[in-house]
Structure 1
Amino acid sequence: MPSSEVLLRQWNRAVRSCTADGRHADALAALGHLRRAGARPDCYAAAAAAKSCGALSAVPLGRSLHGFLTRAALSSSPAVAKGLTDMYFRLGLLHDSLQMFSLISPRDAAAWNILLSGHSRLRLLSEVTSLFGSMHAGGGDPNSITVAVVLSVCAKLGDLTGGRVVHGYVVKKGLAAETLAGNALVSMYAKCGLVAADAAVAFREIAVKDIISWNSMIAGSVEGGLVGEAFVLLRQMVASGFEPNCATLVTVLPVCCASLERGRLWGKELHGRVVTSGMEKEVTSVCNALMAFYARIGDSPAMELVFRRMKKSSVDLVSWNTAIGGCAMNGRPARALELFHELLSSPVGLEPDAATLVTVLPACAQLGDVAEGRKIHRLVLLGAGGLYEETSVGNALLSFYSRCGLLADAARVFSQIQDRDLVSWNAMLGCYAGAGDEGGLLAALHGMRREGFRPDSVTVLTLLQGCSATATATAGAAGGAAGKRDRELHGFSIRVGFIDRPAVGNAIADVYSRCGPLEYAVRVCRNHPGRNVISGRTMISVFMKHGSLEDAQKIFNEEEDEEEKGEGEGEGEGEREGERGGIQSWNLMIQGYAQNGLPHQAIAMFLELHRRPMKPNAVTVMSVLLACSRLASIQLVRQCHGYAARALVSDDDTHLEGALLDAYCKCGGVQVAQKIFQISSGKDHVSYTAMAGGYAMSGMAGEALAIFREMLESGIRPDHVTVTILLSACSHGGLLREGLELFLLATGKVLAGEPTIENYSCVVDLFARAGRLREAYEFIRRLPREANASLWGTLLGACRIHGEVEIGRLAADRLFAVERENVGNYVVMSNIYAAEERWDAVERVRGLVKARELRKPPGCSWIEVGKSMHMFVADDLSHPERSRVYRTLKILNLQIKEPPGPNEAVLDWCG
């Protein structure tokens, strides 16, 4: 049997050991054994027990322990007094802590460190610096721990002056080479934004660097925006024999890997290190950082794989929020909503917080799912945790209703936000701007100013957006009023001090370009205080939009001259930024030529770009594909496809894939498009819509509907464009019943929103092609909105085909009112009357055309033979083979009128 003294030593050792290992409850249990045995702990075990009471936040137990130690005559021991002082600080009892500190004698550096760290823990930061002065003046001898505590406080306060004073003391005492003091200096300077200068100097002076030294420099570089430097440090750290730990990975993965050119590869390399170290399943913060990395580079499947591999006990709310947000930001809103529902039904009992709702509500807006958004709104109102009081949640709800076009709901949410901030006001302004409610927009602006909120650049851009949205509608009869409003907003931008922002200047130029005069837009760009490459691109866009191709080319040439003059002056990241700016200008020019009916010039520009060191990107290829589609040249589309496969690094661009599908289908290569679609691994809304459109324009209505069903089964919601394409396919395929069922399904369940004019126009065409013109007419009359020229034009065209004069006349009257200058409408109505031999009505229509001085443009067609394109315009005799062409057409015309007999000669195409 061990003696009582041996047992006493064992229990004292057990108390100290449990406290050191963080097993604070076990430490207090061991102390209880001592008390029940009638023994008294030694002073070090008593101090350890006091620390455990503080760590457990056990106030009654702490006071009981203090009483016991006082009765045992141990509280006067310096070690116990320090332990009790630290305990009371941890329990948040400042008065008791100061009382215990006053009993410590003599006061060494350890006692002062407890006092300083205690005040820091209680957020009494300003007192820490004054206590450090008292310690120094009172003959205390600050050590590395003291320096670390005080410098941490200086960093929190942003007190660079105080930090430099402490640095001077560190140098004077010769502590700069010590690891703890050096790390504290590095961290302080980094957090004060001086990572490249003072922090780097302090880092170099550390004699023996540890992982904290490296992490401090890396984190400081990331916080200072020096992403490249952070990765250089990471490589140096690994080369020095240090493996990245949790803190390193949490710092570099979400930011560095997602923002650097080779960051994707480095991030996956770090993922490999995480797997081999076993942290992938164990360390929640590292897994969350990995998920954030994959979300930022757009690889949501890899993000979900990390999420699913995590232990269920390790998954926290941050994990769920990252997964939901990653899907929402990468075009998978339906999946984001599914994950949100999984969180709600999770057996762990996690409750959504403000960050969850701020993440999932934009996904509901992307889907147009008003019902789901309203459910989340009810969850906010009925849920615990005071979510309805969170301004960020109110702002997210406001934005959701705004994006869904529900102005009244948005205004109601706005009125219920208790602590409105500038984001709230900007969101409400954006809601009015999106709805085209100019009165509400200006009223909200005045209310914002009355409440003392100063507009920022977002406010100005929102106002300009609202102006731009109504510019086209007011550019005609109310053009003068629109111009006056534009000039007022321009002046407002100058008064509030944001006119020098490139985005604001570009937005003003865009507004002027929409409602004129054009020279105002040019003047804004040329005289803009912050004129740069972006302003030049805006001017190119403005000129292209108005068909001023020569002016656009002139601005482009000026930019190219400036690029050549500045070549070689910039290096590194700035050089790459300039290159990206340059390729955007080239893309604008190529796209502008293609959209303005000059596809040959677009292709010529692409060839010129290809001869330069600048590398075309996916947007360039999409712009060239548009030109190829305009030429109906499948040979050129194949060449672009080959170039994209060889030269583009990013082969998973779904928009490029959609453009390829569209181009092949428009050039008659629907089978090629079908093969591309079938082997695609990342089908999304863009590719499904493009393939459905390809089938539709090729008359394959059944295949288009099959694509629609596959799209729904994949969990991808179609938008109004997809529905328009499918309705058009049903119309051209004569599938009236299927088309009407699709319209009811899409507008009732799938889209969960109001149909567009294009959707209505397709339904009219469905009725019209089936010969049910009266139903088409009644459908238009019952619409909840005013019918436009597209709807009446569709009906009028059908009346010409079916010889329906009366409904045709009604449609024509509406068309002549809303589309007065379109000569095609008059021609169609004239043909309807002519088919019925109502020559007096024909003369009346022709009289209207002459009175309004309208002229029908000549028809045009083209054909690709081999690799050459041949264009034909009505009454044009410029083709070099015109004699042969017209001779062949004459023979064809005769053969059409009177089919040849079995022994008659066929055409001699060889001449």
Structure 2
Amino acid sequence: MIPPCAPKLSQKLLSPYTTTIFTNTLSLLHEPAILFHPKLHQPSLLHLTTTASLSKSDHLNSAHHVFDEMLQPNYKACNTMLKEYTATCQHSQSLSLFMCMHKWNLRPDCFALAAVAKSAAALRNNVFGRSLHGFAAKEGYAKEVAVEKALMDMYSRFGLLSESYKVFDEMGWRDSVAWNIMLTGFAREGLSEKAMGLFYSMHVCGVEGIKPTAVTIAVILPVCAKLKLLKPGLSVHGLAIKIGLDSDTLVGNALVSMHAKCGRVLEDAHRVFLLIGCKDVVSWNSIISGFLENGFYEEAFDLFSHMVSMRFLPNYATIANVLPICAFVEDGRYYGKEVHCYLLRFGLEKDLLVNNALLTHYAKVGDMKRVEFIFKQMHSRDIVTWNTVIAGYAMNEWYSKARDLFHELLSTGANPDSVTLISILPVLAQLGDIEEGMKIHFYILKHPVLLQETSLMNALVSFYGKCGELDDALSVFKRIQKRDLISWNAILSTYADNEHCEKFFDLLHEMIHEGISPDSVTVLGVLRVSILCGIRILREAHGYSFRLGYTSELVVQNAILDAYAKCGKVDAAYKVFRSFAGKNVVTANTMISGYVKHGTQENAETIFHQMSERDLTTWNLMIQIYAQNECTNQAFSLFHELQNEGLKPDAVSIMNILPACTSLASIHLVRQCHGYILRTSLGDIHLEGALLDSYSKCGNIIDSYNLFRVSPQKDLITFTAMIGGYAIHGMAEEALGIFAQMLELNIKPDHVIMTSLLSACSHAGLTDAGQKLFESIKEVHCIEPTMEHYSCMVDILARSGQIREAYEFILKMPCEANASVWGPLLGACKTHKEVEIGRLVAKRLFEIEGENIGNYVVMSNIYAANERWDGVGEVRRMMKSKYLKKPAGCSWIEVEKSRHLFVAGDLCHLRRVNIHDMLTSLDQQIKDPMVDMMEV
């Protein structure tokens, strides 16, 4: 029976206000909801279930039917359930129950009404929340403190701070909680100044019983941190100490974060952290994050290790903070693997945030195989996931893979964001894929939101600049709506990289005219361009840097030194180097690098020995200069010394020492380098090419090819090394086969590869193949032939006996031939006993390089072979007049890992007697093949 006091809803006239609440509430019910609980001791409303397939009118009719048949529940039980639903985050049920109570004329108490307001805020139901406020005012709840605070919080969560503050302003009595709610609202919306003003008002209001609580301080400290207001932050810290909250966990965590963000992580943040009475995982996360933000990576990782040792269980946020640290600490790749194992052990690896952090870490340490494995195992991916892997490929120079993954992202139907495009544009620039970049440009034009992204437009300018499309770069630059300094630096770098000095300086003047102040990046561009313009402009650029006040920055100092060195003014660079007050290891390295470029070994040694601090780059530079000057003993001595200093050779170290191994023709040393590369996982495509080249030059073409065959990432460098290896071994057919493979992979050849191929054809006597190859240089591959190409072509013709054709080929060259072109022809004249052409060639060579004794010796031998003794005498007189003397011949051999050096006329070798006996025996065998080998 339905009691008389509860008439049917269809018979009761609903007020407009009630109807509004009812309609808006039912619009939330898109999922089944249990409106009551057995505690109510009333029939269950399980049958009051709505589905997403029902329309709003279906919801309304269904609810009407159920309400008509229900018995009136107990109002105390309803109030209890309202509060319970809100407390357990069952917000839709809370609103539904409130509507039923309204239908039954059951009056909720103020705490139940406050709970409903909290549920409305959680559901972001603005309309219902305003209606609820009206209900509270009509029914006399508006002055209840609990309701007022709930309404304030509700409005602040809606972002309606003016409404929230109006409630706050009209409150008869405000406690600390009310102040905290208002403070939180301002802080949440980023109204930092208003939050600071409200906090001050609370502090000085003078009302008894109102004082800042732990929540107050935890809310206002992040505001101080955001504004970098250290002094107010310190005042709040002092207040916390005064009222005894400094050891409170919530306050302590906020203090740690504030001090860290204000740059006082070592002085104060760590001290506050130690004083927290009961640390939680947030405490540890705050201090670790603080150390990370301030660049103290080693210390941050030590804190994480200490946290684990104290048996605190890290959460997702901890891992997301720690993993990026691993890439910046020594042996970070191994620490990263330990953290990864930890994740697997505690089942945290399924979280998307954690997986993204793992991808970032492995990408930073160059372990792209692990990145690919994790990426393939992920069940869910967001755009951050894709961006991380694409950026990882780009960072590790796997450009083709980055482009392929970008295409895979597009195939999923997902839309790339600005970060995706900023990551892929430099990749396309490296690949020279102008067509793909233009498609991205068109995509940006179709999405006006992306056009407003200044950073993306800057990346597009840089893309066109690196591809040499200066007009397009300038067009994009002019379309940037909000140009910043980075925009100007991007277009300036475009013209600097493409050596357009005049336009560079025009743009620089335009930038200054618009009131944009140059920064150190601008100055670096100016210095780079000044190198192209000569020493006078460089000195002006130096003065310009000084006037702007950037010569005190190390990066600018190094650029100035490098610029003088590149202009050939090493002495001027050294004077500048001596004038710098804040020199460090990088500055000294730059100076040594300048000496390395000019082969000035003694000066480099002087600076090296004067350095109080050295890094791996220092050692690498010195090894390089010793290796390039054929001081192999010093190079190996330094290589061992750097390891004794506790440093580990990197890819550059190995690339610098490999030429020393090659100069000794020591296959044993090359294999040692190869083993070290494998043990330390120095995966570098340039290093692989250098190793391949070293095997070839040491005579082991088989190992060279095996290394080439298993290389996963073959590029132009790898193919160049392999083709060059076959070339020096005279294996022209194999070299041409590798070249065909390269063309099948759409790798564009350069002048170095063409030189190697021509050289191979020359040594193998493949005249026709060599001529066709030479013709293809310009016609097929669009490469302008260099002097080396002409030299190889002359050698091909001359070796095949076509001496006159080779001579005429030189005369028809579009440029003046140098010694590298005439030299092979002179050698061929000796082989084929061609005196007259040889005499003409020698005359040219004597003019070009008159101090090269080799040319005189060859011409003398040509005369002697044809019994032209007058010519021999003439050449010798020329040599005597120039005081030329032939250097002693030198050779060496490695036997059982020991190197033996031989110089003509030298009697220093300890086993010279045995060697001469063996040579005598071999000489006898050559002269008389019938000599019994056993007798010998």
Scaled by the length of structure 1, the TM-score of the pair is 0.80
* 1:62-211 equivalence runs, <5 A: 62-138=129-205, 139=207, 140-211=210-281
How far the C-alpha of 1:665 sits from its partner, in A, is 1.1
Which of residues 99, 110, 113 in structure 2 aligns to 1:43? 110
Paired residues of 2:801 and 2:832 also in contact (CA < 8 A): no
Which of residues 422, 432, 448 in structure 2 aligns to 1:358? 422
Q: Which has the larger radius of gyration?
A: 2
In 2: Cα distance, 1:122 partner to 1:4 partner: 45
Question: Which letter does structure 1 place at the counterpart of 2:530?
Answer: C
- Aligned residue pairs total 855
Paired residues of 1:46 and 1:80 also in contact (CA < 8 A): yes
Q: Which residue of 2 aligns with 1:338?
A: 404
Check if 1:319 corresponds to 2:382.
no
Question: Which letter does structure 2 place at the counterpart of 1:594?
Answer: A
Note closer, same or farther for the CA distance 1:451–1:132 as it changes in structure 2 (3 Å cut).
Answer: same
1:280 is paired with a residue whose SS is coil
Q: Which residue of 1 aligns with 2:352?
A: 284
Note closer, same or farther for the CA distance 1:558–1:99 as it changes in structure 2 (3 Å cut).
Answer: closer
Q: Which residue of 1 aligns with 2:545?
A: 493
Paired residues of 1:800 and 1:832 also in contact (CA < 8 A): no
Note closer, same or farther for the CA distance 1:334–1:734 as it changes in structure 2 (3 Å cut).
Answer: farther
Q: Which residue of 2 aligns with 1:669?
A: 700
Q: CA deviation digits over 1:137-190, x for unaligned, max 9? A: 331232211121112212222222222222222222222222212222222222
How far the C-alpha of 1:542 sits from its partner, in A, is 3.0
Paired residues of 1:399 and 1:410 also in contact (CA < 8 A): yes
Question: Which letter does structure 2 place at the counterpart of 1:467?
Answer: S
Q: CA deviation digits over 1:414-450, x for unaligned, max 9? A: 2332322222222223222222222223223222222
1:279 is paired with a residue whose SS is coil
How far the C-alpha of 1:291 sits from its partner, in A, is 0.8
Check if 1:518 corresponds to 2:559.
no
In 2: Cα distance, 1:449 partner to 1:817 partner: 55
Q: Which residue of 2 aligns with 1:408?
A: 471
Check if 1:697 corresponds to 2:728.
yes
In 2: Cα distance, 1:341 partner to 1:636 partner: 44
Question: Which letter does structure 2 place at the counterpart of 1:662?
Answer: D
How far the C-alpha of 1:535 sits from its partner, in A, is 3.0
In 2: Cα distance, 1:742 partner to 1:79 partner: 90
How far the C-alpha of 1:397 sits from its partner, in A, is 1.7
How far the C-alpha of 1:828 sits from its partner, in A, is 13
In 1: Cα distance, 2:779 partner to 2:100 partner: 72
Note closer, same or farther for the CA distance 1:81–1:605 as it changes in structure 2 (3 Å cut).
Answer: closer
Note closer, same or farther for the CA distance 1:782–1:68 as it changes in structure 2 (3 Å cut).
Answer: farther
In 1: Cα distance, 2:803 partner to 2:142 partner: 101
Note closer, same or farther for the CA distance 1:358–1:735 as it changes in structure 2 (3 Å cut).
Answer: farther
Question: Which letter does structure 2 place at the counterpart of 1:325?
Answer: A
Paired residues of 1:391 and 1:419 also in contact (CA < 8 A): yes
In 2: Cα distance, 1:405 partner to 1:31 partner: 69
In 1: Cα distance, 2:463 partner to 2:328 partner: 28
Runs of at least 5 residues in structure 1 that lack an aligned partner in the other structure: 471-481, 564-577
Check if 1:862 corresponds to 2:891.
yes
Check if 1:249 corresponds to 2:249.
no
Check if 1:374 corresponds to 2:438.
yes
Question: Which letter does structure 1 place at the counterpart of 2:331?
Answer: R
1:243 is paired with a residue whose SS is coil
How far the C-alpha of 1:92 sits from its partner, in A, is 2.3
How far the C-alpha of 1:790 sits from its partner, in A, is 9.4
Q: Which residue of 2 aligns with 1:530?
A: 582
1:207 is paired with a residue whose SS is coil
* Larger RCO (CA within 8 A; separation ≥ 6): 1
Note closer, same or farther for the CA distance 1:582–1:65 as it changes in structure 2 (3 Å cut).
Answer: closer
* 1:707-722 equivalence runs, <5 A: none
In 2: Cα distance, 1:36 partner to 1:766 partner: 105
Q: Which residue of 1 aligns with 2:598?
A: 546
Q: CA deviation digits over 1:582-624, x for unaligned, max 9? A: 4433332222122123334433444565666665555334323
1:250 is paired with a residue whose SS is helix
Check if 1:593 corresponds to 2:626.
yes
Paired residues of 1:425 and 1:448 also in contact (CA < 8 A): yes
Note closer, same or farther for the CA distance 1:734–1:796 as it changes in structure 2 (3 Å cut).
Answer: closer
Paired residues of 1:90 and 1:118 also in contact (CA < 8 A): yes
Question: Which letter does structure 2 place at the counterpart of 1:530?
Answer: G
How far the C-alpha of 1:853 sits from its partner, in A, is 8.4
Q: Which residue of 1 aligns with 2:33?
A: none
2:278 is paired with a residue whose SS is coil
Which of residues 322, 342, 365 in structure 2 aligns to 1:297? 365
Question: Which letter does structure 1 place at the counterpart of 2:518?
Answer: P
Paired residues of 2:803 and 2:829 also in contact (CA < 8 A): no
Paired residues of 1:661 and 1:691 also in contact (CA < 8 A): yes
How far the C-alpha of 1:229 sits from its partner, in A, is 1.9
Q: Which residue of 2 aligns with 1:424?
A: 487
Paired residues of 2:822 and 2:845 also in contact (CA < 8 A): no
How far the C-alpha of 1:240 sits from its partner, in A, is 2.6
In 2: Cα distance, 1:760 partner to 1:26 partner: 84
How far the C-alpha of 1:712 sits from its partner, in A, is 8.1
In 1: Cα distance, 2:749 partner to 2:95 partner: 63
In 2: Cα distance, 1:44 partner to 1:906 partner: 119
How far the C-alpha of 1:628 sits from its partner, in A, is 2.2
How far the C-alpha of 1:250 sits from its partner, in A, is 1.1
Note closer, same or farther for the CA distance 1:375–1:22 as it changes in structure 2 (3 Å cut).
Answer: farther
Question: Which letter does structure 1 place at the counterpart of 2:383?
Answer: L
In 1: Cα distance, 2:84 partner to 2:759 partner: 78
How far the C-alpha of 1:335 sits from its partner, in A, is 0.7
Paired residues of 1:593 and 1:599 also in contact (CA < 8 A): yes
Question: Which letter does structure 1 place at the counterpart of 2:893?
Answer: E
In 2: Cα distance, 1:371 partner to 1:738 partner: 34
Note closer, same or farther for the CA distance 1:639–1:239 as it changes in structure 2 (3 Å cut).
Answer: closer
In 2: Cα distance, 1:7 partner to 1:778 partner: 115
Paired residues of 2:195 and 2:220 also in contact (CA < 8 A): yes
Q: CA deviation digits over 1:775-796, x for unaligned, max 9? A: 999999999x989859966997
Q: Which residue of 2 aligns with 1:466?
A: 529
Question: Which letter does structure 2 place at the counterpart of 1:290?
Answer: L
Q: Which residue of 2 aligns with 1:574?
A: none
In 1: Cα distance, 2:784 partner to 2:277 partner: 71
Paired residues of 1:724 and 1:758 also in contact (CA < 8 A): no
In 2: Cα distance, 1:585 partner to 1:229 partner: 26
Q: CA deviation digits over 1:350-386, x for unaligned, max 9? A: x21221111111111222222222222222222x252
* 1:569-580 equivalence runs, <5 A: 578=613
In 2: Cα distance, 1:28 partner to 1:483 partner: 79
In 2: Cα distance, 1:332 partner to 1:717 partner: 17
How far the C-alpha of 1:202 sits from its partner, in A, is 2.2
Note closer, same or farther for the CA distance 1:411–1:697 as it changes in structure 2 (3 Å cut).
Answer: farther
Check if 1:268 corresponds to 2:337.
yes
How far the C-alpha of 1:626 sits from its partner, in A, is 0.7
How far the C-alpha of 1:80 sits from its partner, in A, is 2.3
How far the C-alpha of 1:819 sits from its partner, in A, is 6.9
Q: CA deviation digits over 1:664-709, x for unaligned, max 9? A: 2101012233445556677776555534433343233454466567
Paired residues of 2:853 and 2:886 also in contact (CA < 8 A): no
Question: Which letter does structure 1 place at the counterpart of 2:345?
Answer: T
Note closer, same or farther for the CA distance 1:635–1:208 as it changes in structure 2 (3 Å cut).
Answer: closer
Note closer, same or farther for the CA distance 1:742–1:593 as it changes in structure 2 (3 Å cut).
Answer: same
Paired residues of 1:793 and 1:825 also in contact (CA < 8 A): no
In 2: Cα distance, 1:50 partner to 1:780 partner: 94
In 2: Cα distance, 1:17 partner to 1:743 partner: 87
How far the C-alpha of 1:204 sits from its partner, in A, is 2.4
Note closer, same or farther for the CA distance 1:89–1:759 as it changes in structure 2 (3 Å cut).
Answer: farther
Q: Which residue of 1 aligns with 2:300?
A: 230
